Amino acid sequence: MRARRTVALALAGVLAVATAACSGESKNNSGSSGPATVLNVGMPNGPQTENHNPFLGSSSGASLGYRWMIYEPLVMLNSIAPKDPGKPWLATEWKWADNFTKLSLTIRDGVKWSDGKPMTAEDVAFSFQLRKTNAGLNPEAIPYGEIKQTGNKIDLTFTKSQFVNQAKVLTTFVIPKHIWSVLKDPTTDVVKNPIGTGPYTLKSFTPQTTTLTVRDEYWQDLPKVKELRYTSYNDNNAQTTALANGASEWSFVFIPNYKTVYVDKDPVHHKLWFPANLGIHGLWINTEKKPFDNPALRRAMDKVINRDDIFLQGEAGYFYPKIESVTGIPTPAGDAFIAPEFEGKLHKVDLEGAKQELAAAGFKLEGDVLSDPSGKPVTITLTDPAGWSDYITDLEIIKDNLSTIGIKATVDKANQDAWFKAVDEGRFDATMHWTNGGATPYDIYQNIMDGKIYKPIGKGGVSGNYGRFKNAEATKALDEYANATDDATRTKALNTLQKIMVEQMPVIPTSASNVGGMYNTKNWVGWPDEQNQYAPAQPTQQNALHIVLNLKPAGS
């Protein structure tokens, strides 16, 4: 996922930089000779509106990543090593049964909420029940059955196998029943005083900086980082400047010339690590808007979009690697999953092939204008937040590419809040966006094509299928994969999904995903890296909590 960058007014960006500079000047809280006590985290997401509701992907807590310092999961899983066993967290033991339709959990004793009340198995049961009864809190549409609590044990049943959702269930974060049971609408309510089991509590909030402070007591050893300051910079450039001058010590941001403008400013301490995962980025097309509901038009668009230019120019040759397979599956990570009929079939620009697709489907290209079968010129608005410089460059490349088949495209550099709302409600033509990632390509295809998470244009609260793609065969194949009891059945279903992807092209894949980050080792050590891959390096991932607990002051 990439929902962690925004755009805002220039004035706010200046304020953000000023705030961050002040944070950098006092990061040790004890003068230059003392050990570090403060960690400065930054994201290029513009001024924030205060909301610490952990369920909302657009909240300040999600945007900057600090929700994971307050709300904890049952199990800590490493998304870059999905086959590794999970680390016990609020659950000490877990066991699946009956083809992943049953799960038994043992809940940790001795954990307290930040308001001093004990966390119990009743809170865990409530956390699952809330997701079961509120579709907006269950974006993956996990089919919860019975939820039973006995002492410190939780027994869950599911109406279908949760083989593909194991990680999502086990990493469920827990919320306090005594707080959330009285909220009017947990899917939308603004949370100003977050109460969690994590090691940090909210100290202060401004649109530019959110500060968390360590609790007096915590069920694990208290972290060495006594204060976390999350600064939201105006855009990628402002965030990069803060990383380069040391005001920001941890971030996930696109840096076009990363070696010159970041690493070379302090080669000893300025680090970056971008481990890949099995997720993708691409042009999501609103398949319910004419004429883009026609798969022939989408296939033609795919044939003229230059993925090499997107990688080398838009993604600076390092950030998001090019996807070469026509299936959209990243390689080499996904080599073992590619169907025999698509092995060795790589995407290439094919202008003549695109023109043939269009002509066969009744489109007419006259001069530099493409008309749809009804005679209307084909136009498209490509949109992303203005501060997301790599995506904006990608869209400018795509705009030029589409002009070769007569499609008049415009690039809308949107306000972040307006963009999130438009994508959520399906009020867009096309946008660069990411997919979920997982241990197999299932998560990619489910995020793009699952009819069970489809919502019509105008209805929000979605988590995937932003292009409003409807295909009964795809939904059936996803169900067959998810509920299969053997690998052969899963392979057959996945091969079907690849065929649908190639033929229907609901999303035009361009790039493979990563879960990387930039970090500074001057004040803090213990970061994950190529030699110690205990967590992805991204500060907005749930694993960020694991990283913070692992950090120690440099030289200590």
282-297 pLDDT, tens per residue? 999 999 999 999 999 9
Environment class of residue 425 by beta-carbon count within 10 Å: exposed (0-12), middle (13-18) or buried (19+)? middle
Least confident range from 273-277, 411-415, 521-525, 544-548: namely: 273-277
Q: Dump pLDDT digits (tens) for 383-392.
A: 999 988 899 9
Number of Cβ atoms within 10 Å of the Cβ of 81? 14
Predicted local confidence at residue 554, as pLDDT: 96
Predicted local confidence at residue 463, as pLDDT: 81
Q: What is the largest CA-CA distance in the chain?
A: 74
Task: Check pLDDT > 50 for residue 254.
Answer: yes
Q: Dump pLDDT digits (tens) for 398-425.
A: 999 999 999 999 999 999 889 999 999 9
Predicted local confidence at residue 26, as pLDDT: 36
Task: Check pLDDT > 80 for residue 246.
Answer: yes
Calculate the average pLDDT of the chain. Answer: 91
Q: Give me the half-sphere count of Cα atoms (radius 13 Å) on the Cβ side of residue 496.
A: 19
Q: How confident is the model at residue 3 (pLDDT cuts 50, 70, 90)?
A: very low
> Which residue has better confidence, 346 or 530?
346
**Rounded mean pLDDT of 527-534?**
94
**Rounded mean pLDDT of 91-97?**
97
The C-alpha angle 427, 53, 185, rounded to 5 degrees, equals: 75
Give me 85's structure tokens. Answer: 């066993």
Predicted local confidence at residue 222, as pLDDT: 97
Task: Check pLDDT > 90 for residue 473.
Answer: yes
Q: Dump pLDDT digits (tens) for 213-225.
A: 999 999 999 999 9
| 36/32 Cα distance (integer angstroms) | 9
Predicted local confidence at residue 33, as pLDDT: 59
Task: Check pLDDT > 90 for residue 21.
Answer: no
| 285/369 Cα distance (integer angstroms) | 20
| 63/50 Cα distance (integer angstroms) | 11
**Rounded mean pLDDT of 21-34?**
44
Number of Cβ atoms within 10 Å of the Cβ of 536? 28
b/e map 268-302, b = 16+ CB within 10 Å: ebbbbbbbbbbbbbbbbbbbebebbebbbbbbbbb
Q: How confident is the model at residue 275 (pLDDT cuts 50, 70, 90)?
A: confident
**Rounded mean pLDDT of 296-309?**
98
Amino acid at 421: K
**Rounded mean pLDDT of 115-127?**
98
| 387/46 Cα distance (integer angstroms) | 8
Task: Check pLDDT > 80 for residue 12.
Answer: no
| 20/30 Cα distance (integer angstroms) | 18
Task: Check pLDDT > 70 for residue 265.
Answer: yes
Q: How confident is the model at residue 4 (pLDDT cuts 50, 70, 90)?
A: very low
Q: Which residue(s) pair with 369 in the sheet?
A: 366
Predicted local confidence at residue 32, as pLDDT: 52
Least confident range from 138-142, 159-163, 167-171: namely: 138-142
Least confident range from 40-44, 273-277, 397-401, 410-414: namely: 273-277
CA distances from 185 to 111, 133, 401, 489 (A): 27, 12, 45, 41
The answer to whether residues 44 and 235 touch, using CB atoms and an 8 Å cutoff, is yes
Predicted local confidence at residue 498, as pLDDT: 98
Question: Distance between terminal CA atoms of the chain?
Answer: 35
Predicted local confidence at residue 141, as pLDDT: 82
Predicted local confidence at residue 256, as pLDDT: 85
Closest by Cα among 131, 197, 199, 119 to 168: 131
Predicted local confidence at residue 11, as pLDDT: 26
Least confident range from 2-6, 77-81, 123-127, 257-261: namely: 2-6
